[in-house]
Amino acid sequence: MKNYFKNFLQNKATKEDFVSFLKLMKDSDNEELLTAEMKEHWETTINEQAAPNLEPTLHEIHYKINRLEKGRSGRLRMLNIVTRVAAILLIPVLIASAYLFFNQSRAVEQFISTPLASQTSFQLPDGTKVWLNAGSSLNFPSKFSGKERKVELVGEAYFDVVKSSTPFVIQANQLHVQVLGTAFNVMAYENEQPAVTLDRGSVAISTEGMAKQMLKPGFQAVLDTLNKQVSVTKVETDLFSCWRDHRMVFRNEPLKQVVEKLERWYNVDIDVVDSSLLANEVTANIEYESIQEVLDLMRLTMPIEYSYDKETRKLIIRKH
């Protein structure tokens, strides 16, 4: 099959080759092999030209048919049959060519995720820098095209967006963020209220049923996913992006929220036995400490005791 197909395309096929090739075409068992040959031929051709030109292929088929049938008077019926076979032969070539051509130009969806207790950083196709926090994932195309540069975020990420006339759009847990060029932090873990904290530039945030709202540097917008309302407050932006430097800073933050962040940061399961402790506020600056060192620090400011099982990574906090 491979030699017949190659000779046919290179105009080297003899009459016997052509007849044998037609016989092989009629055998359904050869369909997969023929498809592979067409794919290989097309992948070679696509590197030489921007778009498929199938007209020579059709001319080539008819040329061979006419050459074989030349001088055979009274064989019009046979010519029609062979022409039909040629048309049938061209159908899979058209389908395969169109499929391969459009797949060459279509952007491939990319997916990057970070496990718990891990972080990563990388660049998007447009040069935008991304830092991805623990337990997060980002979907984005292999190349940006169209009217926007769109990505989808689950978890937390910091973006330093390359300036462009094409808007950069982030879809994150009901929150829609649009920018042209800026630096900001987006937190959008599941079952948590998404928040955007802006370092520089400007961003427009919105959600379903809500008009766009502009955010200025030094401010944070938090979306109430139940009421579809956004609250904007002035904040110390470094408190929400210092995780990029492997630091966590808490300023009067409820223990409930601290526990959620510690679980992601250290990949542990924390159980607070006495729920009354969850309202206690925590103020701390954590940098490279172990989870036991963090709990020892917290014991200095609140009445707690804890036990930790390293094998199961289970941490239990009780009221002292």
CATH of the domain at 291: 3.55.50.30
Give the model confidence (pLDDT) of 80-99 as tens digits: 444 444 544 554 544 444 44
Which of 105, 120, 144 terminates a domain? The answer is: 105
Same domain for 44 and 95, yes or no, is yes
Give the model confidence (pLDDT) of 188-216 as tens digits: 998 889 999 999 999 999 988 788 899 99
Mean pLDDT of the region 255-259: 93
Portion of the chain with pLDDT greater than 70, in percent: 67
Question: Residue 20: pLDDT band by 50, 70, 90 thresholds?
Answer: low
Same domain for 300 and 269, yes or no, is yes
Q: Which two tokens stand for residue 18?
A: 């052509």
State which amino acid sits at residue 152. E
CA-wise closest residue to 196 among 211, 218, 226, 164 = 218
Give the 3-state secondary structure of residue 225.
coil
Residue 35 clears pLDDT 50, i.e. is over it: yes
Q: Which two tokens stand for residue 39?
A: 């794919």
DSSP code for 143? S
With residues binned 3-state (H G I as helix, E B as strand, rest as coil), the percentages for the chain, rounded to 5, are 35, 30, 30
Same domain for 68 and 142, yes or no, is no
CA-wise closest residue to 202 among 180, 221, 186 = 180
In contact, 85 and 25? CB cutoff 8 Å: yes
Same domain for 188 and 94, yes or no, is no
Same domain for 151 and 186, yes or no, is yes
Same domain for 121 and 178, yes or no, is yes
Which of 220, 239, 258 terminates a domain? The answer is: 239
Same domain for 119 and 206, yes or no, is yes
The domain that holds 168 is classified in CATH as: 2.60.120.1440
What pLDDT, on a 0 to 100 scale, did the predictor assign at position 191?
Answer: 83
In contact, 4 and 20? CB cutoff 8 Å: yes
Residue 184 clears pLDDT 90, i.e. is over it: yes
Same domain for 25 and 135, yes or no, is no
Same domain for 90 and 113, yes or no, is no
CA-wise closest residue to 248 among 119, 160, 115, 152 = 119
Same domain for 211 and 115, yes or no, is yes
Same domain for 91 and 143, yes or no, is no
What pLDDT, on a 0 to 100 scale, did the predictor assign at position 56?
Answer: 47
Same domain for 255 and 308, yes or no, is yes
What pLDDT, on a 0 to 100 scale, did the predictor assign at position 226?
Answer: 84
3-state secondary structure 237-302: CHHHHHHHHCEEEEEEEEHHHHHHHHHHHHCCEEEECCHHHHHCEEEEEEECCCHHHHHHHHHCCC
Helix axes 2-9, 15-26, angle to 10 degrees: 120
State which amino acid sits at residue 196. V
The Cα–Cα gap between 226 and 21 comes to: 66
Q: Supply the range of the domain harboring residue 15.
A: 2-105
Number of domains making up the chain:
3
CA-wise closest residue to 221 among 175, 156, 282 = 175
In contact, 34 and 92? CB cutoff 8 Å: yes
Residue 138 clears pLDDT 80, i.e. is over it: yes
Which of 202, 222, 239 terminates a domain? The answer is: 239
Give the model confidence (pLDDT) of 258-295 as tens digits: 999 999 999 999 999 998 999 899 998 888 789 999 99
